[in-house]
Amino acid sequence: MKSASALYKLPHAGNEIKYFDRKSNLTEEEYGERLRTSTTLYVGNLSFFTLESQLLEFFSSCGQVVNLIMGLNRMKMQPCGFCFVEYATRQEAALAVNTLNRSVLDGRIIRVDWDYGFEPHRQFGRGRTGGQVRDEVRQN
């Protein structure tokens, strides 16, 4: 199975970016360029009980973590299963995507994908109940 990061191909290789965050306020070209140069990762499917200290220890195995932002339910201000991890270099971030995506953390298979870069207010869930949209439609 390919990593979700495989969705982000360089345009000169004849591939297009298949996912585009319309709420980013970027053009598709700007979005693609930011993904290609980013040192920030989106981490999903975290347990609501995973601690920031656990995440720092886990992601530091791939390099220097410059910033870690916990995703919060915008109504309850409690963790809601995602975070952003920013590395010092692109190479460290790539190592994390390639080695930690689909690994188990706190009893859950996590998702580690490239992100276009953290901006204020992105730490809040976008779902109707303040959490992630994915959790509102989850079947399990």
Backbone angles phi, psi at 41, to 5 degrees: -120, 150
Give dist(CA 80, CA 130) in Å, integer.
Answer: 9
Query: How high is the pLDDT of residue 68?
Result: 98
| Strand order from edge to edge, sheet including 65-72 | 65-72, 79-87, 40-44, 111-114
Query: How high is the pLDDT of residue 119?
Result: 83
Query: How high is the pLDDT of residue 51?
Result: 97
Q: How far does CA 108 lie from the centroid of its chain?
A: 15
pTM for this predicted structure? 0.79
- List, for residues 40-93, the tens digit of each pLDDT value: 999 999 999 999 999 999 999 999 999 999 999 888 999 999 999 999 999 999
Bridge partners (DSSP) listed for residue 43: 83, 112
Give dist(CA 94, CA 87) in Å, integer.
Answer: 9
Three-class SS of residue 77? coil
Query: How high is the pLDDT of residue 22?
Result: 80
